[in-house]
Chain A
Amino acid sequence: MSLGEMFVSGLSAVWGGGTMFLMVVVAIVLGTIFGALPGVSATMAVALGLTFTYTMGPVPAIVFLTAIYCSSITGGSITAILFKIPGVPSSAPTTFDGYPMAQRGEAGKALGVALLASAIGGLFSALIMFLLATPLSKAALAFGNGDMFAITFLGLSILIVLDTEHILTTIISGLLGLLLACIGQDPMAGVARLTFGQTNLLSGMEMIPVLIGLFAVTEVLKQTTTKKRLSAEDGVGNKGKVNTKMPSMKELWSIKMTLLRCSIVGTVVGILPGAGATIASFMCYTMENKLSKYPEKFGTGIIDGIAASEASNNAATGGAMVPLLCLGIPGGNAAAVMASALALKGVQMGPRLLNVQPEFLSATFITMIVTNILMVIVAIGIAKVFAQILAVPYYYLGPIILLLAMIGSFSEGNIVGVFVMVIAGILGIVVKYMHLNSAAIVLGLVLGGMCEKYFSQAFQKAHIVTAEMGFGDYVAKVFESLFGSPISAIVMTCCILLLLSPIYMPLLKKVTGKGKQAA
């Protein structure tokens, strides 16, 4: 099937006599609302969307779920900007600049930039995927465990530049996140670790309650001590009314390179199994901070930071669909939900899918194009509603956030999730007083499991084997696991350079400063 034929086939699948198009619009509305609700993650949004697809065929089902997935990632930016609570984890970097802008009364502009950047990132990745799906999936298939470890470790190395003012406490936070990720059965031998005899912890630390606790509950608890609480004027200005303001051509031109770079990086990161929208957004935010002519302004409320985060996390959604459709490997949790939905309908995922039923690929990418355009309009309307919610006094809004947090933590039907959320919320306050970095804890927690799994597998496949493993053999085996392939060697070198940057960067600055003075 030629590209043109695939395009037409995708269009007809999404239009579906008008009914399917209507379903796509419903999915976009639902996805944006779910994404915007604090505690309702993109995965949860896709899982909730499953209930609507039981009566649909396989292609309409994937169209519906893809629309929910893409729009929920964008929806997460609304609450990240207005409430400083990322609706989805990948919107966490959006809070760094979005919320300060909202506090300055520029919420409308921040939302405009977020929506436009999301649409550009999403459209870019959809287009690239449509053209390059097969060769890219072949490249991703060639990645070994050592390469995957190196890429995951790159995500962890980013911790060091999350907060350059408090490097030591940021490292402690990241390590704490990694340690939390070790709770439960180890990925290779299945032996219980760090469970303290609690059988509930055997399946590991529940991610969603921890995220809800650290990001939502802690914020509500903090509000009990502030004399001037979060209100419509503080958050969005103009008594809770938000008029989303699209950036001017001049502003858009000023962030053109940010949008391009982050769309490319987001797409590439999205393709890698396991490395999804969250890593992409953190990675791109840091990258833009490093490349910026004014890095000191990042975190104070500039459009570059919002554009970096939102363009990359939406670009990652397109990328995440490629390994799912071409290889049958879910690119992330949401993609895993979609894979199980398709398996229920008897669809055999894998490399053969493209040859036998190419309409899956064409329908998915046309849906992504349609969704990324329509969601801008839908999100503007939903942002208005959420801004009105901020006009409600905080003594109503705070408890409502807690109730949603409780629902989100219990959505897996386990009361332990609610306890984890409460403990995480209280620990979030302790973390604040210890000057630790909650974003670093979360990143460590999200990446910890993957990091260990890939390292263990790379170690197992390394060639050095002796019957009696001495310390030297052990070190050589570890070295081979980490630097065994050209990809892993390059990425690991980047990680080391990044980790050592706090040591050599001041020295470099000193040298260049002296050079300038001498000149």
Chain B
Amino acid sequence: MFELICNVLLLVFLGYTYFTHVLEAKVPKSYLKNPNVLHPSVWPKLIIILLVICLVINIIKIFKKNKGNPEFSFGAFAKNSLVFLKSKMFIGMAILVIAALILEPLGFVVTAALLMFAYGMLLGEKIWWRLAIISCVLAVFLHIAFSGLLGVSLPRGTVPFLRDFSLFLENLF
């Protein structure tokens, strides 16, 4: 059922995109006067049309494949969705989203340490204090190695003392 819902949602999204968002601005008139040029909407519209055809065939195939399958129902899907929301995979996804959100304000060092600690606990580390120490050391090491030594820019954070700490690490070498 999840596969079917995703295919239908994709189909609806593509339909919406086709009619509203293929071109976000008007094509210059001088460009359109030239009969030799390809209109900017041709290529994406062609792809969307082909995608819609393929998705419709795929949806029919999913229906045919699951004919008579008791698991292929909205009730079973709702039940499975609740199980998924409590799963480790969903928590993992949430951790990643939170990490992306806090990266800019808190900077790489704090975000990396928190991400490593949270994900490590999720994956089954039992000794929390060992994980906490390793997370902090590794976050500092990576910041020094990439930002300080290799010159790769990493976010320092917008909180003043965290920003100062990042700058201190970068200037160590």
Contacts and interface: CB of A to CB of B under 8 A. Distances in A.
Contacts of A225: 87-89
Given A229-B123, A418-B100, A403 B54 contact: no
B68 interface: no
A186 B40 contact: yes
Interface in A219-244: 220-225, 229
Given A51-B150, A182-B44, A191 B57 contact: no
B55 A179 contact: no
Nearest to A407: B146
Contacts of B51: 172, 175-176, 179
Contacts of B69: none
B82 interface: no
Nearest to B122: A224
A399 B120 contact: yes
B152 to A, nearest CB: 5
B119 A188 contact: no
Interface stretch (A16-24, A193-201, A368-376): A193-201
Nearest to A444: B47
Contacts of A455: 38, 43
A189 interface: yes
A413 B111 CA distance: 16
A467 B34 CA distance: 9
Report which residue of B55, B100, B135 has the largest number of chain A beta carbons within 10 angstroms of its beta carbon.
Answer: B100
A395 B43 contact: no
Contacts, number: 189
Contact of B96 (A189, A396, A425): A425
Interface residues of B, number: 68
B5 to A, nearest CB: 10
Interface string B90-115: 01110011011001100010011001
A177 B167 CA distance: 39
Nearest to A456: B38
B166 to A, nearest CB: 13
A399 B40 contact: no
Interface string B2-25: 110011000000000100011111
Nearest to A170: B54
A169 B58 contact: yes
Interface string A295-308: 00000000000000
Nearest to B134: A396
A394 interface: yes
B119 A402 contact: yes
A169 to B, nearest CB: 7
Given A172-B55, A179-B51, A395-B120, A221 B92 contact: yes
Interface in B138-169: 138-139, 142, 146, 150-155
A407 B146 CA distance: 8
Chain B interface mostly helix, strand, loop or mixed?
helix
Interface string A403-424: 1101100110101001101100
B44 A179 contact: yes
Contacts of B136: none
Contacts of B135: 399
Interface string A60-80: 000000000000000000000
Contact of B120 (A171, A195, A396, A456): A396
A319 B44 CA distance: 32
Report which residue of A191, A192, A430 has the largest number of chain B beta carbons within 10 angstroms of its beta carbon.
Answer: A191
Chain A interface mostly helix, strand, loop or mixed?
helix
B55 A406 contact: no
Interface in A295-338: none
A429 B87 CA distance: 14
Interface stretch (A121-129, A248-256, A266-274, A458-466): A458-466
Report which residue of B24, B38, B116 has the largest number of chain A beta carbons within 10 angstroms of its beta carbon.
Answer: B38
A221 B115 contact: no
A433 interface: yes
B24 A460 contact: no
B85 interface: no
Contact of A418 (B36, B103, B134): B103
B70 interface: no
A247 interface: no
A191 B44 CA distance: 12
Contacts of B61: 168
23 contacts: A176-B51, A189-B28, A196-B24, A221-B93, A225-B87, A225-B88, A396-B125, A398-B120, A399-B120, A402-B116, A410-B155, A413-B153, A415-B104, A418-B103, A421-B100, A422-B99, A425-B93, A426-B93, A433-B6, A434-B6, A452-B43, A459-B38, A466-B35
In the A-B complex, the 3 residue pairs with the closest CB atoms: A395-B123, A192-B24, A186-B40
Given A192-B25, A403-B116, 9 more contacts: A168-B61, A176-B51, A179-B48, A193-B22, A193-B40, A221-B92, A221-B96, A403-B112, A406-B112
Interface of A: 48, 51, 168-169, 171-172, 175-176, 178-179, 182, 186, 188-189, 191-197, 217, 220-225, 229, 393-396, 398-400, 402-404, 406-407, 410-411, 413, 415, 418-419, 421-422, 425-426, 429-430, 433-435, 452, 455-456, 459-462, 465-469
Interface of B: 2-3, 6-7, 17, 21-28, 31, 35-38, 40-41, 43-44, 47-48, 50-51, 54-55, 57-58, 61, 87-89, 91-93, 96-97, 99-100, 103-104, 108, 111-112, 115-116, 119-125, 131, 134-135, 138-139, 142, 146, 150-155
